[in-house]
Chain A
Amino acid sequence: MQHVLIIGATSGMAMEVAKLYAERKCRLFLVARNSEKLAAVESDLKARGAESVAAQVVNLDETDKHPALVAAARDFLGQLDVVLIAHGVFPEQAKCESDYRLTESVLRTNLLSPISLCTHLANVMQAQGGGTLAVISSVAGDRGRQSNYVYGSSKAGLSAFLSGLRARLAPRGVNVITIKPGFVDTAMTAAIKKGPLFASAANAAAGIVRAIDARRSIAYVPWFWWGIMLIIKHIPEVIFKRLKF
């Protein structure tokens, strides 16, 4: 039986990941900031067959609460086989351009908060000598684009942090995975018109769990984003700066 910690458990993608672990009859510890949503997710996972589920309500921007949170999760789960960090926000780029405070809050939620969590989790997992730490970054972190570079830079920072952490923990048997979703149909993208590149949250979740099982390092979800980003990363800057997207 796997012992699974899901942080940001009410996210569209995380809920689907949690369903898959519930069907595997895992023990789950869930963290989210909204108690009503969290209660709905908790009963869903119980009904789907999870061995047991516990939940804690925390605003994850409050990094001083993270040590106690990690301790509570470890107490309930016994050990951390799989940890998924999924919370994040997707701001309107135009608003960030005229409001630095907004940009700062995006960096707090998308970058500082996961970095703080990873710092504490890394030490626990290093001591236990195993487990998988999967963190949702984004394809948007692979290159800053004018249409969402604030969000992109928060994810770029996160990807860089994870890449270093992966190297540090690998010899200790702890696998760190950077999950890079493309477009996924969740609340985050509700306002965006859905095109053929969109994946369902359930599909993305299946990709995430596959990557965790296979102990991958970097997982594009769905996989074809690897190719798309390869091209985007190699567009020469002289051309890239003229692109509107």
Chain B
Amino acid sequence: MSYGESWGRYPKTNSTLHPVQWLHEPIKFESDKRYLPYGQGRSYGDCCLNDAGVLLTTNGLSRIISFDRQTGVLRCEAGLTIDEVLRVIVPAGWFVPVTPGTRFVSIGGAIANDVHGKNHHTSGTFGRHVLAFELLRSSGERLLCSPQQNTELFRASIAGLGLTGLITWAEIQLKPIKNAGIEMESVRFSDLEEFFQISGGSEKDFEYTVAWLDCVSSGSAFGRGIFMRGNHSAADAKQCRASRLKLAVPVDAPGFALNRWTVQAFNSCYYNKQRQKSVRSLVHYEPFFYPLDAVLDWNRIYGRRGFFQFQCVLPPTAGKTALSDMLREIVASGNGSFLAVLKEFGDLPSPGMMSFPRPGVTLCLDFANHGEKTACMMKRLDAMTREFGGAMYPAKDAWMTADNFRRYFPCWQEFSKFIDPAFSSSFWRRVSA
């Protein structure tokens, strides 16, 4: 990773880096500068960028303050990554309550985007499991925020996109596990109708659900994919060590150029790899949750121009046709990526004012940057999301218009009262323009 870039490597910006290394050290905020916390830069668009401003880099803030092995309460500095957290807690029989599809994110970043995972329908967002954190404001004040104290700032900072101040440390409630294994099952579905059926039928019995969707094929293969569901293994520890190297998803980085044909081939291979209707296996949590992490810096395969990610949620009221309309548009463009992800969110509320997840189905995929053509596609998808009454995810966005942003996040005005006067981001300047 190079500092000061986002994962999509777009847009290109220029900012000064100010490393924050120690909790106790004060930061000198200068009145003519604009600041933004920066975690691991795993956001795709511009929410972790601050063109012409200062990025407060937090990768040095990576110490654990306390870890109660009995209660599973972890207090750590905000730059600590989920990767490091897991290294410590899994052997002690604990797991993170919610994890995104990469473990290379910081705790601060997980809070500021209020990330969600495959267990959204059972556990909600990351913010629901945050017991407290300290917020450093540019005034030098350090505020303890929790559901009981500085409640409003607590709610504004979860999904607060780094704009309310720097989270210096956070306390999180972990959840107990028996071992590092996941009992998983993958089920082929042949169209979107069947996806909704399987998804609905899996919610009760499976803690984790997600689907991979073929977003290239049309005709009879339109809307096909593989549904993956799983639970933490209840067996005694040590049993599933060996399966760590077994990748649940074949993400051998394509060493060849990404184009329509290779992407098509990948999608077909992926779908046809699984011959049976359904396959059960016991896998280590790494390939289950983090298939892409096996290929470090995989974002570079898209080259210097970078790529865009698109993620929206479409509400149940939009109907199932909304999703197929959108997918049809993507298939027709021939511009879709080699991994599209589909998941139904649950209805558990987040404390975060500006939290993205809400009931409905979320669709998420990459687009290599082919210039103008791709830009048109992104704008089109933004417009469709709005038309269907959905919302787009700031962590994955470089395109939504200011007008649409306000539709997607109706609390934005209330939220903006809590923004620290010295903090700003490229994203915020774009959507509040």
- Give me the interface of A with B, judged by CB distance under 8 Å: 12, 15, 23, 36-37, 40-41, 43-44, 47-49, 187, 190, 194
A-contacting residues, B44-79, CB 8 Å: 60, 63-67
Tell me, yes or no, whether B273 is within 8 Å of chain A by CB: no
Does A40 contact B22, Cβ atoms closer than 8 Å? yes
Tell me the residues in window 1-43 of chain B with beta carbons closer than 8 Å to chain A beta carbons. Answer: 2-3, 19, 21-24
Residues of chain B within 8 A of A12, CB atoms compared: 60
**Does B63 lie within 8 Å of A41, measured CB to CB?**
yes
Query: In the docked arrangement, what's the CA distance between A48 and B22, Å?
Result: 18
Docked pose: A187 CA to B25 CA in angstroms: 14
- Is A47 within 8 A of B60, CB to CB? no
> Is B245 on the interface with A (CB-CB < 8 A)?
no
Residues on A with C-beta less than 8 A from B23 are: 40
Within the complex, the shortest CB–CB distance from B248 to chain A, in Å, comes to 26
Nearest neighbor of A48 in chain B, beta-carbon distance: B88
Q: Look across to chain A and name the residue whose beta carbon is closest to the beta carbon of B67.
A: A47
Instruction: Choose among B24, B63, B65 the residue with the greatest number of A CB atoms under 10 Å from its CB.
Output: B63
User: What's the nearest-Cβ distance from chain B to residue A11, in Å?
Assistant: 11
Q: Is the CB of A187 within 8 A of B63?
A: no
A47 / chain B contacts, CB cutoff of 8 Å? 64-67, 88
Interchain Cβ contacts within 8 Å, total number:
38
29 cross-chain CB contacts under 8 A: A12-B60, A15-B63, A23-B88, A36-B24, A37-B24, A40-B22, A40-B23, A40-B24, A40-B63, A40-B65, A41-B63, A43-B63, A43-B65, A43-B66, A44-B64, A44-B65, A47-B64, A47-B66, A47-B88, A48-B64, A48-B67, A48-B88, A49-B88, A49-B91, A49-B92, A187-B21, A187-B60, A194-B2, A194-B3
Which bracket fits the contact residues of B?
10 to 19
**What is the chain B residue whose CB lies nearest that of A49?**
B88
13 A-B pairs besides A40-B22, A40-B65 with CB distance below 8 A are A36-B24, A37-B22, A40-B23, A43-B64, A44-B63, A44-B64, A44-B65, A47-B66, A48-B67, A48-B88, A187-B60, A194-B2, A194-B3
Which of B22, B65, B87, B92 has the most chain A CB atoms closer than 10 A to its own CB? B22
Q: Which residue of B lies closest to A185 (CB)?
A: B59
List chain A residues, Cβ under 8 A from B91: 49
Q: Once bound together, how far apart are the Cα atoms of A227 and B63, in whole Å? A: 34
Q: How far is B2's CA from A37's CA once the two chains are assembled, in angstroms?
A: 27
Nearest to B3 among chain A residues (CB) is: A194
Bound Cα distance from A187 to B59, whole angstroms:
11
Interchain CB contact (< 8 A) of B87 among A23, A36, A40: A23
A93 to B144, CA, bound (A): 43
CB distance from A98 to the nearest CB of B (A): 28
In-complex Cβ contact of B19 among A36, A48, A49, A190 (8 A): A190
Q: Lowest 4 A-B CB distances belong to which pairs?
A: A44-B63, A47-B64, A47-B67, A36-B24
Taking the closest CB of chain A, its distance from the CB of B41, in whole angstroms, is 13
B contact residues around A40 at 8 Å (CB): 22-24, 63, 65
CB distance from A101 to the nearest CB of B (A): 27
Complex Cα–Cα for A43 and B77 (A): 12
Query: In the complex, what distance in Å separates the CA atom of A141 from the CA atom of B65?
Result: 37
Cβ-closest chain B residue relative to A187: B21
Q: How far is the CB of A237 from chain B (nearest CB, A)?
A: 36
Residues on B with C-beta less than 8 A from A41 are 63
Known contacts A194-B2, A194-B3; is-contact A36 B22 (Cβ 8 Å) = yes
- Complex-state Cα separation, A17 to B308, whole angstroms: 37
Q: Is the CB of B19 within 8 A of A187?
A: yes
Closest residue of chain B to A186, judged by CB?
B60
Q: Which residues of chain B have C-beta atoms less than 8 A from A190's C-beta?
A: 19
How far in angstroms is the closest Cβ of chain B from A216?
A: 25
A15 to B60, CA, bound (A): 10
Q: How far is the CA of A149 from the CA of B27 in the complex (A)?
A: 33
CB of A95, distance to nearest CB on chain B (Å) = 22
**Closest chain A CB from B104 CB (angstroms):** 12
| Residues of chain B lying within 8 A (CB to CB) of residue A187 | 19, 21, 60
B202 to chain A, nearest CB (A): 36
Closest residue of chain B to A34 (Cβ to Cβ) is B22
How many angstroms from the CA of A36 to the CA of B24 in the assembled complex?
A: 7
CB neighbours of B3 from chain A (8 A): 194
Residue in A12, A37, A47 whose Cβ sees the most chain B Cβ within 10 Å: A47
Cα(A47)–Cα(B66), bound, Å? 6
CB distance from B43 to the nearest CB of A (A): 20
Shortest distance between the CB of B65 and any CB in chain A (Å): 6
Q: How far is the CA of A190 from the CA of B20 in the complex (A)?
A: 11
